[in-house]
Structure 1
Amino acid sequence: MEKALLRKHYAYSKIDEEDPEEIKHRQAQFLIQKILLQADNRRKPSFLRIRMCKLKVRIGRRLRKLRKSMLLGISVARVRLYKQVISRMKTWRRLFHRGRGEPLVSLAPIFA
């Protein structure tokens, strides 16, 4: 009788060997429950957060478009300036060196 009193009602006996399939099944059930709990605890995105995300995307697209147009404009301006400089140089070359190297306008040396 004393042994019965010493024994606790929540004591359990250890199982010598467990079935490997049962162990795998238990682990799978545990992981499934864990993932389901995590999915339940996740916050749903608020309306404001969704709006902000969409706004960021729109701003990013506009900035990208602006940058591309600026680069195109700069490259076009560079080409135009290059063409102008080349045409002016050709004009000056023709003005000062006619045909075989004789200048059209001869400039007298300043210090003679």
Structure 2
Amino acid sequence: MALFKKPYAYTRMDFEDPEEQKHRKAQFLIYKVLAQADARGRPSLLRVRLGRLKVKIGRRLKRSRKRMALMIWKARLAIYKLLMRQLKSLEALVWP
């Protein structure tokens, strides 16, 4: 108890500068990210191969999606042209 009554004892600050809080939080986050980076180390060869395989599969899926969209667009256009041709021939028969 006598320790807290000394004039040079530490006291808790009630107010802290907001800039100081931001700075301290930023330092903590930087330290945390650096610690995670140190813990990871070098990626394994299997992980690198899996990553490349995922990229390769993703590219193929993207290409096939584009191809399917183009095919669907062309099919819709062909059907539209066919329908318009039929309507024009029907119109010529109905309204001379």
- TM category (shorter chain) comes to 0.5 to 0.7
Q: TM-score normalized by structure 2?
A: 0.59
What amino acid sits opposite 2:79 in the alignment?
A: L
Which aligned runs of 4 or more in structure 1 are off by greater than 6 angstroms?
none
CA distance in 2 between partners of 1:91 and 1:59 (Å): 48
* Distance in 1 separating the partners of 2:70 and 2:84: 21
Change (3 A) 1:40 1:70: closer
Which residues in structure 2 correspond to 1:1-80 (within 5 Å)? Answer: 38=35, 41-80=39-78
Distance in 1 of aligned mates of 2:91 and 2:40? 76
Structure-1-length-normalised TM-score: 0.51
Q: In structure 1, what is the Cα distance between the partners aligned to 2:69 and 2:45? A: 37
How many angstroms apart in 2 are the aligned matches of 1:68 and 1:94? 39
Percentage of identical aligned residues: 44
Q: 1 CA distance for matches of 2:84 and 2:38?
A: 71
Distance 1:84 1:68 in 2: 24
* Structure 2 unpaired stretches of 5+: 1-30
Q: Of Structure 1 and Structure 2, which has the larger fraction of its residues in helix?
A: 2
| Higher-Rg member (1/2) | 1
**Counterpart pick for 1:83 among 78, 81, 84:** 81
- Offset of residue 41 of structure 1: 4.2
CA 1:51 to 1:90, structure 2 compared with 1: closer, same or farther past 3 Å? same
